[in-house]
């Protein structure tokens, strides 16, 4: 009898919520307590240094060595006063998650003792021996040096008594080895390009910032049950498991009451997040059982992304104190919804104008239309790239499934905006949306209220939602930077093109507003095919999208090719976000990661099938055989035949599944061997996708059938119905 099941279920259901003690003060007292933000800078830095640093951050320029020394000194003092003993450069290599290597503050004092020290040199730049991070061949092992360099735009923070300094990570020869470097480049390029266009409407604009508000979905599962599932532990998802009779069909979980144990977890998570200055605001149940979501108030994209990475590690930490495990995998359980991470994205000027927000004056509305039209053009032109930016071995399970956005990027604008665009496109002379607000000078008057997003299309991967776009195809475990790099760079490139043409035409003496409207019309016409307000899950849409020339590729390794198309390379080079060398190297990493993830899954599945499932099925089969044997001994032959008929059939069916599993596992191993012999990372990934993945599905099919037949007490793994309902 499997003891774990009864023990775990008992534990899982009998567990009381862990009591959370929050300080008895209001959130303002501890919010950002562990962040070296401007208030702390002001307190701990000499006046001149504070001014210099703030100035550098605001104007996006580097600081000099003397300033760095002074900042390091203040930062160290603050950190030590707040319990830190170590410091680390915190960076985002091309793996999932973040990396850190801790050093303590101590240095020899020259007299046989130590002093606590932290110089500007150590703050600003380090040389981690990071040769084993993925780099796609950019560094061979004898040139293993990589540099991490302080990103002054994201404040340092204290986590687990360690001062963490957000840094970029680049190779000795200057190629990016992380997500942050290209993200900063992309943000910089969209800043410059958007400023050019925003100045047509307000010449005073100095900067345009990109904003990100992510919505993080996740599953929780009781730790005891998690520990009894090697597949969850090693791959983040269940590789087998029959659907529970009840899962989400009653739609009773979404926005339902949050279970007490989970609420305690959320409360503590929010407290920890707030201490780190992460403005968590929203929490609710999601569609699937045990699925939840949290979202912050949006922030500048680079900071928001740091905060998302930070919250993902905080979640695991806090969960373990509540006897939970957090599953960030996009599809931990078959048959119920997977998890995404909607990226709400917008642009705004340093003067506080949100550029995707319709305004009150005709100038503001024209500006709004110009920016939305340019986003549309960029998403149209780079739809394949945007899809590649969110694709991974894990997100592949979610996209294209009957729940999440399809594996086609299209754009939802809503009825009103669509109407406006259609009229603009048709060059109608009067666009009149509410009585009295007619068109003046051929410029649409759009009352602010009008675009309140009432009709949102949940099947759209990229939707306009009132004052922002929601890029919904991003996976729950992803680093948002990947999507944000592609999107901001693509939009930057498009805005530059737009500004080039407009500049040229007004240089030739044409009228600014007519030129802008004219060019908007051209964009709208050219990119009309990206607009789709219908049901993204329907089969017709796949056909229609292909007819429109949108990318409908469903194989992840082939989607990655979009990064290396002539158009993508040109766009990334022109915006300064990636060099061709970087793009090629990164694709090697993408293919390699894809292969490795599937390889691990295939191995785990094979092991479980042979070591867990087949032995259990055989034991049950032998119980049945025993039974039949006894029946035959006891009853006359004809009668025995009748009585034992069902068991005999069961024995045969089990034997069939067992033999299929054995055969398929052998084929799976063989198929891996064949794939592994391929030397090109791309070919290898394609082979894993085409040959290994389908075998895994077939093995799972037989295992799930066995789960339905075999004695519950013998079945060696916790079942969906046990894992999916936290009480």
Task: Note whether 464 binds ligand ADP by CB under 6 A.
Answer: no
Q: Which of residues 260-299 bind ligand ADP (CB under 6 A)?
A: 282, 295-298
Distance CA(61)–CA(153), nearest Å, equals: 10
Task: Note whether 211 binds ligand ADP by CB under 6 A.
Answer: yes
Q: Are strands 462-464 and 469-471 parallel, antiparallel or unpaired?
A: antiparallel
Residue 211 contacts which entry, Mg ion, ligand ADP, none (Cβ below 5-8 A, type-dependent): ligand ADP
Q: What single DSSP character describes residue 688? A: I
| 342 vs 657, beta carbon nearer Mg ion | 342
| 92 vs 342, beta carbon nearer Mg ion | 342
| 40 vs 342, beta carbon nearer Mg ion | 342
Q: Please say whether the beta carbons of 345 and 210 come within 8 A.
A: yes
Residue 329 contacts which entry, ligand ADP, Mg ion, none (Cβ below 5-8 A, type-dependent): none
Q: Please say whether the beta carbons of 411 and 531 come within 8 A.
A: yes
Q: Are strands 291-296 and 208-222 parallel, antiparallel or unpaired?
A: antiparallel
Structure tokens at 450: 């009008």
Q: Give least dist CB 221 to Mg ion, A.
A: 24
- The alpha helices in 299-391, defined as continuous H runs, are 301-321, 362-381, 383-390
| 294 vs 706, beta carbon nearer ligand ADP | 294
Q: Give least dist CB 342 to ligand ADP, A.
A: 6
Q: Give least dist CB 218 to Mg ion, A.
A: 15
- The alpha helices in 163-300, defined as continuous H runs, are 180-198, 223-227, 230-235, 260-275
Length of the chain: 727
Q: Give least dist CB 344 to Mg ion, A.
A: 6
Q: Give least dist CB 300 to ligand ADP, A.
A: 10
Task: Note whether 453 binds ligand ADP by CB under 6 A.
Answer: no
**Over the range 589-603, which residues count as b (16 or more CB within 10 Å of their CB) and which as e?**
bbbbbbbebbbebbe
Footprint of Mg ion (CB under 5 A): 342
Residue 469 contacts which entry, ligand ADP, Mg ion, none (Cβ below 5-8 A, type-dependent): none
Instruction: Name the residue number minimizing CB distance to ligand ADP.
Output: 213
Distances 461 to 399, 457, 621 between C-alpha atoms, Å: 10, 9, 47
- Binding-site residue total for ligand ADP (CB under 6 A)? 14
Distance CA(458)–CA(286), nearest Å, equals: 14
Binding range to ligand ADP, per CB under 6 A, among 54-62, 162-170, 211-219, 697-705: 211-219
> How many Cβ atoms sit within 10 Å of the Cβ of residue 438?
12
Distance CA(727)–CA(720), nearest Å, equals: 14
Binding range to ligand ADP, per CB under 6 A, among 147-155, 330-338, 340-348, 513-521: 340-348
Residue 468 contacts which entry, Mg ion, ligand ADP, none (Cβ below 5-8 A, type-dependent): ligand ADP
Task: Note whether 341 binds ligand ADP by CB under 6 A.
Answer: no
Distance CA(324)–CA(721), nearest Å, equals: 17
| 307 vs 342, beta carbon nearer Mg ion | 342
Structure tokens at 551: 């990318």
| 342 vs 689, beta carbon nearer Mg ion | 342
Q: Pick one of 126, 337, 344, 395: the residue that binds ligand ADP (CB under 6 A).
A: 344
Distances 437 to 416, 433, 725 between C-alpha atoms, Å: 15, 7, 54
> Which residue carries 């603009």 as its tokens?
424
Distance CA(3)–CA(661), nearest Å, equals: 26
DSSP, collapsed to helix, strand or coil, labels residue 467 as coil
Q: Give least dist CB 282 to ligand ADP, A.
A: 5
Q: Give least dist CB 256 to ligand ADP, A.
A: 16
Residue 86 contacts which entry, ligand ADP, Mg ion, none (Cβ below 5-8 A, type-dependent): none
Binding range to ligand ADP, per CB under 6 A, among 210-218, 219-227, 331-339, 648-656: 210-218
Q: Give least dist CB 303 to ligand ADP, A.
A: 12
Task: Note whether 353 binds ligand ADP by CB under 6 A.
Answer: no
Binding range to ligand ADP, per CB under 6 A, among 14-22, 209-217, 402-410, 553-561: 209-217
- The alpha helices in 199-291, defined as continuous H runs, are 223-227, 230-235, 260-275
Phi, psi of 298 (to 5 degrees): -65, 155
Q: Which residues bind ligand ADP (CB under 6 A)?
A: 211, 213, 215, 282, 295-298, 344-346, 354, 467-468
């Amino acid at each position: 009898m499997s003891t774990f099941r009864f023990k775990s279920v008992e534990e899982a259901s009998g567990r009381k919520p862990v009591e959370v003690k929050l300080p008895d003060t209001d959130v303002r007292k501890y919010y950002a307590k562990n962040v070296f933000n401007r208030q702390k800078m002001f307190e701990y830095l000499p006046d001149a240094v504070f001014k210099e640093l703030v100035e550098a951050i605001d104007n996006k320029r580097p600081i000099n060595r003397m300033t760095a020394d002074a900042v390091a000194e203040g930062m160290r003092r603050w950190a030590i006063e707040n319990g830190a003993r170590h410091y680390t450069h915190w960076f985002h290599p091309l793996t999932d998650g973040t990396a850190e290597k801790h050093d303590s503050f101590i240095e020899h004092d020259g007299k046989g003792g130590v002093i606590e020290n932290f110089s500007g040199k150590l703050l600003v730049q380090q040389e981690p021996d990071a040769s084993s991070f993925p780099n796609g061949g950019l560094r061979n092992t004898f040139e293993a040096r990589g540099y991490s360099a302080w990103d002054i735009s994201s404040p340092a923070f204290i986590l687990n008594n360690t001062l963490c300094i957000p840094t970029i990570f680049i190779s000795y020869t200057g190629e990016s080895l992380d997500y942050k470097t290209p993200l900063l480049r992309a943000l910089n390029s969209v800043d410059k390009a958007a400023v050019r266009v925003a100045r047509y409407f307000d010449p005073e604009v100095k900067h345009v910032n990109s904003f990100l508000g992510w919505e993080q979905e996740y599953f929780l599962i009781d730790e005891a049950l998690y520990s009894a599932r090697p597949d969850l532990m090693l791959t983040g998802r269940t590789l087998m498991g029959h659907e529970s009779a009840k899962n989400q069909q009653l739609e009773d979980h979404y926005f339902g009451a949050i279970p007490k144990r989970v609420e305690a977890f959320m409360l503590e998570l929010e407290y920890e997040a707030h201490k780190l200055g992460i403005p968590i605001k929203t929490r609710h149940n999601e569609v699937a059982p045990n699925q939840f979501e949290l979202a912050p108030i949006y922030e500048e994209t680079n900071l928001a992304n740091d905060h998302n990475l930070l919250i993902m590690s905080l979640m695991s930490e806090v969960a373990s104190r509540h006897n939970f495990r957090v599953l960030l995998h996009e599809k931990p359980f078959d048959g119920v919804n997977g998890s995404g991470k909607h990226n709400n994205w917008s642009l705004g000027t340093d003067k506080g104008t949100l550029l995707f927000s319709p305004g009150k004056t005709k100038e503001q509305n024209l500006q709004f239309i110009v920016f939305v039209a340019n986003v549309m053009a960029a998403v149209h032109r780079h739809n394949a790239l945007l899809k590649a930016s969110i694709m991974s071995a894990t997100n592949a399970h979610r996209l294209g499934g009957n729940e999440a956005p399809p594996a086609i990027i299209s754009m939802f604008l809503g009825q009103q905006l669509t109407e406006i665009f259609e009229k603009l496109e048709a060059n109608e002379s009067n666009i009149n949306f509410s009585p009295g607000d007619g068109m003046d000078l051929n410029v649409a008057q759009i009352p602010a209220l009008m675009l309140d997003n009432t009709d949102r299309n949940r099947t759209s991967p990229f939707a306009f939602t009132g004052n922002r776009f929601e890029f919904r195809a991003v996976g729950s475990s992803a680093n948002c930077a990947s999507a944000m790099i592609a999107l901001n760079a693509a939009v930057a490139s498009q805005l530059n093109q737009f500004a080039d043409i407009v500049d040229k035409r007004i240089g030739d003496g044409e009228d600014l507003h007519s030129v802008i409207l004219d060019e908007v019309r051209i964009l709208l016409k050219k990119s009309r095919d990206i607009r789709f307000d219908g049901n993204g899950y329907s089969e017709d849409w796949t056909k229609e999208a292909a007819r429109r020339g949108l990318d409908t590729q469903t194989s992840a390794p082939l989607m990655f090719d979009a990064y290396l198309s002539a158009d993508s390379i040109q766009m990334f080079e022109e915006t300064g976000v990636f060099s061709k060398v970087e793009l090629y190297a990164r694709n090697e990493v993408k293919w390699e990661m894809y292969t490795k993830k599937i390889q691990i899954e295939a191995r785990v599945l094979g092991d479980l099938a042979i070591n867990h499932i087949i032995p259990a099925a055989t034991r049950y089969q032998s119980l049945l055989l025993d039974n039949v044997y006894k029946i035959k001994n006891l009853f006359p032959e004809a009668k025995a035949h009748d009585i034992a008929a069902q068991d005999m059939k069961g024995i045969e069916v089990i034997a069939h599944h067992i033999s299929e599993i054995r055969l398929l596992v052998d084929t799976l191993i063989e198929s891996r061997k064949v794939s592994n012999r391929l030397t090109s990372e791309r070919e290898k990934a394609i082979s894993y996708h085409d040959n290994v993945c389908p075998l895994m599905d077939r093995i799972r099919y037989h295992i799930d059938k066995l789960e339905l037949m075999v004695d519950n007490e013998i079945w060696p793994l916790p079942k969906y119905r046990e894992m999916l309902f936290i009480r």
